[in-house]
Amino acid sequence: MVALVTSIGASVVMAWGVFWYAKRRPVGTPLTWGEAMVGSVYVFFLCFLIYGIVPHQWLTLAENEWSWRADRIMFGVGDIVRPQSRGGWFPFDITYRAISDTIAVLFYVVFLGGQIWMWAKWQNRDKTADAKQQAALNQTSTFGRPLIKQG
């Protein structure tokens, strides 16, 4: 459990570091070779964490500590999800391993969506600043005069 929480925490801190750096780096600044190498190692390690270590730690926790093995059949309270093999109405058996694998797939889906969102935020970081600046320039007083002197 500690390894899973630690790997998720490290992933969150590293993802926050991307946004912190995006605010500091001016748009259009040329990238040096050294900055490109450091950035690529950083992004590779972040992807290694979120696509390799976090799902592995989840599967290890589920199988070893919680005993969510393939031989354990899940059946719910009453007859809600009780399989036909156990006297219920549900047409197939659901094992605990299938549930843990489904949760691992959900990790991948959430991480991929978050990675695409982070790419979009990085690529459009100049557009949000320009929109805020333009909105400040377009403000007018109650008498219709601009609040900021233009030109």
**String of DSSP letters for 35-87:** HHHHHHHHHHHHHHIIIIIHHHHHHHIIIIIS---TTPEE--STTSS-BGGGT
Residue 63 reports pLDDT greater than 70 = yes
Average pLDDT over residues 35-44: 96
Which pLDDT value is given to residue 34?
95
Q: What pLDDT, on the 0 to 100 scale, is given for residue 73?
A: 82
Phi, psi for residue 61 in degrees, rounded to 5? -65, -45
Q: What is the pLDDT of residues 112-145, one digit of tens each?
A: 999 999 999 988 887 765 666 666 667 777 777 7
The percent of residues in the chain predicted with pLDDT above 70, rounded, is: 86
Type of residue at 68: W
Is residue 10 over pLDDT 90?
A: yes
**95 bridge partner residues:** 73
More confident residue, 29 or 80: 29
pLDDT at 127 (0 to 100): 77
Domain locations in the chain? 2-23+36-119
| Cβ–Cβ < 8 Å for 90, 73 | no
DSSP readout, 82-122?
-BGGGTSSBSS-EEHHHHHHHHHHHHHHHHHHHHHHHHHHH
Cβ contact 73:95 at 8 Å:
yes
Q: What letter would DSSP give residue 30?
A: P
Distance CA 136, CA 146 (A): 10
Please tell me the distance from the alpha carbon of residue 127 to that of residue 3, in angstroms, as a whole number.
39
pLDDT at 3 over 80: yes
